[in-house]
Amino acid sequence: MRFGDVELELSDDVSVWLWPAIVAFSAAPLPYPLLGHCGCLEFINAKFLDADRLVELETNRLYPGIVA
């Protein structure tokens, strides 16, 4: 595995969320991309609205970045 420091960004037409994270890359064949808890999902609350095929995201109190 190879690790690197990055700045992750989520955005829509209204706001931008930026925060630092460590990512890992592997040559191992994975059947799908993996978004981990550490450095990403630990900072975001997600609400899945299955019937509408929507996901609502909001930062939580652990979010270390900025909202612009």
CA-atom Rg of the chain in angstroms: 14
- Residue 52 pLDDT: 95
- Residue 37 pLDDT: 77
Rounded Cα–Cα distance for residues 68 and 60 (Å): 15
What torsion, rounded to 10 degrees, do the Cα atoms 67, 7, 23, 55 define? 30
* φ, ψ of residue 41 in degrees (nearest 5): -70, -15
CA angle 10, 16, 18 (to 5 degrees): 65
Rounded Cα–Cα distance for residues 18 and 22 (Å): 13
pLDDT in tens, 17-43: 999 999 888 888 888 777 777 888 899
Give me the residue spans of the domains in the chain. Answer: 2-26+35-67
- Residue 6 pLDDT: 93
- Residue 34 pLDDT: 74
Tell if the pTM clears 0.75, that is, is over it: no
